[in-house]
Amino acid sequence: MNDFSTVFDELAALPTAVKIALGVLYLVQIGLEVYALINLWKTPVERIQLGKKWVWVLLILFVNMVGAIIYLVAGKKPVAAVDPARQVTAEEPGANRADRAAAAADLLYGPKEG
């Protein structure tokens, strides 16, 4: 007997619940890897840790689910936070406090109707 038939016989002997759990785990792994690869493809090189995307592609593909999780957790540099309420003063140096408050309220609750 060859090794493949032995493996398939052992898998066939597993309980149905275990087979279903392995199938779900496999789908989660593939989905996570595809998501990580698409996320990597859409992310600019400037935001990638280590500066090279090919390193992350290898890690995602060859370290399976753990590689994708490592990329999603630590693979990107954080984006600098921008305070949208402060942008009003940068764009309009003469804007007063009421204008800044109105801009902040519009940002939080949407533009005022009427």
* Per-residue pLDDT tens over the stretch 5-18: 788 888 888 899 99
- Please indicate, yes or no, whether residues 85 and 112 belong to a single structural domain of this protein: yes
Q: Report residue 13 as tokens.
A: 């002997």
Q: How many domains does the chain have?
A: 2
- Please indicate, yes or no, whether residues 27 and 49 belong to a single structural domain of this protein: yes
- Please indicate, yes or no, whether residues 42 and 58 belong to a single structural domain of this protein: yes
Question: What is the maximal distance between C-alpha atoms in the chain?
Answer: 84
Residue-number span of the structural domain to which 86 is assigned: 81-114
Q: Tokens 């392995």 — which residue?
A: 22
- Distance between CA atoms of 21 and 30, rounded to whole angstroms? 14
pTM, whole model, 2 decimals?
0.63
- Please indicate, yes or no, whether residues 21 and 63 belong to a single structural domain of this protein: yes
- Please indicate, yes or no, whether residues 30 and 50 belong to a single structural domain of this protein: yes
Taking 70 as the threshold, does the pLDDT of residue 20 lie above it?
yes
Task: List the Cα angle 30/66/42 in 5-degree steps.
Answer: 65
- Helix pair angle (16-42, 64-74), 10° resolution: 40
